[in-house]
């Protein structure tokens, strides 16, 4: 029983990093209705820029985090301009494939510039795990969890209590109607992309500093974990992204413990497949999916 | 030496063309699949087991591989056919990754002539020697690949002129309107997924026998997304499109050795720019329509 609870806790801690990734994913998907496969790789580039700052200038944690976020935002803007802004709406497949080739491009640029593949990344905190009775907590995971919670609150405030949030929700609901209301749709989308990239940069910094190292494979990992967490939670729902991330973490932790490491990803994908078949809306998005289905039936 | 290299590159183009055609067929019905590599993998393993372990002749092994891939496609198609858009894409991705991870732990070996033969989890599946045992040269095998590819391509071109092809395109344009014509959209979609699975399967079986060795990590999601990209680069208007995409990627870039280390930087940028100008590829529906018009005009002028 203690094992099970410890696994759940480990899973929630692991899941908080997935939740961090899923938030940025959800924000972009919610507004654009298009999938950005380059999301993981662009924050990976940000993290490599952080590493560069660390190795070249022996900078402190704040400077490294800032470099990571700024790097992620710059690459994010590049992706948005090339893959989303320039390709007209309605060509969702083209955007997605375009973001995929840019992923490949970013990965190769990183391997050319950083030929050693694995680079050190300074840890944010170097504290011993906290013991609470028979249970263990890792400090860096608690930080991650706290940041994920703070980000959710911040996003909620931004979306629900600012004019920008109102415009963003309008664009997400119906871009054309938003345009008629005098909203600058392009600017809103770009800004949403920048915010998502900044959140992604923070996520990348926390995850990579908890690992203590970075490789170009981080991009693939981040894209897929973020995507799975987003789908489990329900597309376009921020609370869903958090719950989806935590669920993914718990399922992975339990399957590592009870089935073995080789079953970790297998059970994650199996869970995703089951969700898609039986509850495609995920934990929080089922209502939207059913509304859409009902609308189709009415037609 | 150069001949060997050329044959290897051409064989590669041929085999990858199958999976590109498979992804293209689903793009025609309006679905994006990230998972065609699963059928490629299932067939590679299935046909390898048939020839190397059960001692079947190679042609039967290829047929068996394609059948197994088709059956696997049917298994995925039935639960996922209701899903639309991104949900379908992610479901195919999840399925393909499940297949790959199952092959990572799948072990099934028998002793043949004192040696263990068969898939051994993440160590892969060695010694699929059927084409070398029956003395098929690399060049002859190249002919087999392109023979089969021509058959499949002709099949696709006939399909495009048939009623079934028209229905597939109609579903891709608007499934709701198709339903209103009294057509069973889900049944046609299942058919399309199974056909795509069989086509990918032929490629996978050919691949396993040429490489003689397969391991699960070959069949990762990169293979599937490349397959998808080929159709979109070459164009979604005709089945020749994906082949052009493959030829551009493997053929052209392989031949320009100067950029070998920076291949994806150049290729990625080119494709991204191409998709801005032509979001449905070089030979999109409009281009194909225009070319057909020109062709008919030429034929008429000669008569």
**CA-to-CA distance for B119 and B157, rounded, in angstroms?**
37
pLDDT at B253 over 80: no
The per-residue b/e assignment along A224-255, b for 16 or more CB within 10 angstroms, e otherwise, is bbbbbbbbbbbbbbbbbbbbbbbbbbbbbbbb
Query: Do A140 and A125 form a contact (C-beta atoms < 8 A)?
Result: yes
What average pLDDT score do residues A245-259 get? 88
The number of distinct structural domains making up chain A is 1
What's the complex ipTM?
0.83
**CA-to-CA distance for A44 and A32, rounded, in angstroms?**
22
Domain extent, residue A181, equals 2-298
Q: How far is A105 from chain B (nearest CA, A)?
A: 4
What is the pLDDT at residue A85? 79
Residue contact A280–B87, C-beta within 8 A = yes
What is the pLDDT at residue A17? 85
Higher pLDDT, A29 or A75: A75
pLDDT at B64 over 90: yes
What is the pLDDT at residue B258? 61
CB atoms within 10 A of CB B187: 10
Going by C-alpha positions, the residue among B18, B33, B285 that lies closest to residue B170 is B285
What's the CATH number where A274 sits? Answer: 1.10.3470
What average pLDDT score do residues A96-106 get? 86
pLDDT at A176 over 90: no
pLDDT at B9 over 60: yes
What is the pLDDT at residue A240? 85
pLDDT at A254 over 60: yes
pLDDT at B1 over 60: no
- Best to test chain B binding among A96, A262, A281 (most B CBs inside 10 Å): A96
Angle subtended by helix axes B58-80 and B185-211, to nearest 10: 140
- Residue percentage of chain A with pLDDT more than 70: 94
Length of chain B: 303
What is the pLDDT at residue A81? 86
Higher pLDDT, A68 or B288: A68
**CA-to-CA distance for B292 and A199, rounded, in angstroms?**
50
Query: Do B253 and B239 form a contact (C-beta atoms < 8 A)?
Result: no
Q: How far is B80 from chain A (nearest CA, A)?
A: 6
For B260-302, write each residue's pLDDT tens digit.
667 777 777 888 888 888 878 888 888 888 888 888 888 888 7
CB contacts of B262 in chain A (<8 Å) are: 108, 112
Least confident range from A134-138, A232-236, A255-259, B188-192: namely: A134-138
Query: Do B41 and B99 form a contact (C-beta atoms < 8 A)?
Result: yes
CB contacts of B172 in chain A (<8 Å) are: none
pLDDT at A89 over 70: no
- Best to test chain A binding among B224, B226, B230, B276 (most A CBs inside 10 Å): B276
B249 occurs within a structural domain: no
Instruction: Determine the residue of chain A that is closest to B180 in CA distance.
Output: A299
pLDDT at A90 over 70: no
- Residue percentage of chain B with pLDDT more than 70: 97
pLDDT at A70 over 90: yes
CB contacts of B259 in chain A (<8 Å) are: none
CB contacts of A276 in chain B (<8 Å) are: 80, 83, 87, 90-91, 94
- Residue percentage of chain B with pLDDT more than 90: 31
What average pLDDT score do residues A261-281 get? 85
The token pair that represents B240 in the structure block: 């020749």
Average pLDDT, chain A: 84
Query: Closest partner residue to B97 among A94, A96, A265, by Cβ?
Result: A265
For B209-241, write each residue's pLDDT tens digit.
888 888 888 888 888 888 888 888 888 888 888
The token pair that represents B175 in the structure block: 């499934």
Residue contact B276–A86, C-beta within 8 A = yes
Which positions in chain A have a beta carbon within 8 angstroms of at least one beta carbon in chain B? 35, 37, 82-83, 86-88, 91-98, 100-105, 107-109, 112, 224, 227-228, 231, 235, 262-263, 265-266, 269-270, 272-273, 276-277, 280, 296, 299
What is the pLDDT at residue A45? 94
B191 occurs within a structural domain: yes
Domain extent, residue B88, equals 2-220
- Best to test chain B binding among A45, A276, A291, A295 (most B CBs inside 10 Å): A276
Going by C-alpha positions, the residue among B284, B82, B8 that lies closest to residue B169 is B284
What is the pLDDT at residue A37? 87
Residue contact B280–A108, C-beta within 8 A = no
Query: Closest partner residue to A82 among B225, B232, B272, by Cβ?
Result: B272
Global pTM value: 0.86
For B103-126, write each residue's pLDDT tens digit.
988 888 777 777 777 788 778 788
- Residue percentage of chain A with pLDDT more than 90: 12
Q: Is A265 helix (H, G, I), strand (E, B) or coil?
A: helix
What is the pLDDT at residue B260? 64
Least confident range from A155-159, A196-200, A232-236: namely: A232-236
For A15-38, write each residue's pLDDT tens digit.
888 888 888 888 888 777 788 888
**CA-to-CA distance for A241 and A239, rounded, in angstroms?**
5
What is the pLDDT at residue B68? 95
The number of distinct structural domains making up chain B is 1
Query: Closest partner residue to B279 among A91, A102, A224, by Cβ?
Result: A91
For A225-248, write each residue's pLDDT tens digit.
898 998 888 877 788 888 899 899
**CA-to-CA distance for B26 and B275, rounded, in angstroms?**
19
What average pLDDT score do residues B145-172 get? 92
B26 occurs within a structural domain: yes
pLDDT at B182 over 80: yes
What is the pLDDT at residue B195? 95
Tell me the count of A-B CB pairs closer than 8 A: 111
What is the pLDDT at residue B163? 92
Q: Any idea which residue has 């970790």 for tokens?
A: A264
For A133-152, write each residue's pLDDT tens digit.
667 777 877 888 888 888 88
Instruction: Determine the residue of chain B that is closest to A89 in CA distance.
Output: B279
Going by C-alpha positions, the residue among B293, B82, B39, B300 that lies closest to residue B186 is B82
- Best to test chain A binding among B81, B228, B268 (most A CBs inside 10 Å): B268
């Amino acid at each position: 029983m203690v094992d099970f609870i410890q696994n759940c806790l480990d899973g929630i801690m692991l899941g908080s990093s997935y939740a961090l990734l899923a938030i940025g994913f959800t924000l972009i998907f919610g507004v654009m209705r298009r999938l950005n496969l380059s999301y993981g790789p662009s924050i990976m580039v940000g993290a490599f820029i952080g590493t560069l700052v660390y190795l070249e200038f022996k900078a402190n944690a704040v400077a490294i985090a800032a470099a990571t976020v700024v790097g992620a935002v710059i690459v994010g803007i590049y992706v948005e301009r090339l893959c989303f802004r320039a390709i007209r709406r309605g060509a969702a497949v083209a955007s997605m494939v375009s973001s995929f080739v840019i992923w490949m491009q970013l990965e190769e640029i990183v391997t050319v510039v950083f030929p050693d593949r694995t680079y050190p990344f300074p840890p944010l905190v170097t504290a011993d795990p906290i013991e609470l009775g028979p249970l263990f907590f890792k400090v860096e995971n608690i930080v991650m969890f706290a940041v994920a919670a703070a980000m959710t609150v911040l996003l909620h405030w931004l979306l629900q209590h600012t004019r920008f949030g109102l415009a963003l929700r309008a664009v997400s609901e119906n871009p054309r109607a938003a345009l008629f209301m005098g909203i600058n749709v392009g600017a809103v989308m770009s800004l949403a992309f920048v915010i998502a990239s900044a959140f992604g940069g923070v996520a990348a910094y926390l995850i990579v500093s908890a690992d203590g190292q970075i490789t170009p494979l981080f991009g693939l990992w981040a894209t897929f974990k973020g995507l799975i967490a987003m789908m489990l939670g329900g597309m376009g729902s921020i609370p869903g992204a958090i719950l989806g991330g935590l669920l993914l973490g718990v399922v992975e932790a339990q399957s590592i413990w009870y089935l073995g490491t080789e079953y970790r990803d297998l059970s994650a994908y199996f869970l995703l497949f089951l969700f898609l078949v039986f509850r495609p809306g995920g934990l929080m998005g089922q209502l939207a999916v059913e509304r859409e289905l009902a609308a189709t039936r009415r037609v | 030496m150069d001949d060997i290299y050329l044959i290897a590159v051409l064989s590669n183009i041929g085999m990858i063309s199958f999976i590109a055609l498979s992804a293209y067929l689903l793009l025609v019905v309006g679905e994006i699949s990230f998972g065609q590599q699963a059928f490629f993998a299932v067939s590679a393993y299935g046909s390898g087991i048939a020839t190397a372990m059960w001692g079947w002749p190679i042609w039967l092994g290829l047929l068996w591989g394609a059948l197994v891939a088709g059956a696997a496609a049917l298994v995925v198609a039935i639960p996922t056919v209701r899903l639309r858009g991104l949900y379908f894409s992610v479901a195919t991705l999840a399925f393909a990754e499940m297949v790959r991870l199952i092959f990572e732990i799948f072990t099934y070996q028998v002793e043949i002539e004192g040696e263990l033969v068969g898939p051994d989890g993440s160590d892969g599946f060695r010694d699929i020697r059927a084409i070398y045992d029956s003395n098929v040269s690399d060049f002859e095998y190249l002919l087999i690949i392109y023979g089969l590819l021509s058959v499949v391509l002709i099949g696709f071109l006939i399909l495009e002129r048939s009623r079934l092809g028209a229905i597939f395109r109609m579903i891709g344009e608007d499934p709701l309107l198709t339903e209103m014509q009294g057509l069973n959209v889900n049944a046609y979609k299942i058919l399309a997924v199974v056909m795509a699975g069989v086509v990918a399967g032929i490629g996978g079986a050919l691949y396993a026998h040429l490489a003689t060795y397969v391991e699960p990590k070959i069949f990762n999601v990169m293979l599937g997304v490349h397959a998808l990209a080929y159709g979109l680069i070459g164009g979604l208007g005709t089945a020749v499109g994906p082949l052009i995409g493959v030829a551009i990627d493997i053929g052209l870039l392989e031949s320009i050795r100067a950029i070998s280390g920076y291949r994806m930087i150049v290729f990625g940028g080119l494709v991204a720019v191409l998709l801005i100008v032509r979001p449905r590829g070089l030979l999109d529906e409009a281009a194909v329509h225009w070319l057909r018009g020109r062709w008919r005009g030429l034929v008429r002028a000669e008569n």
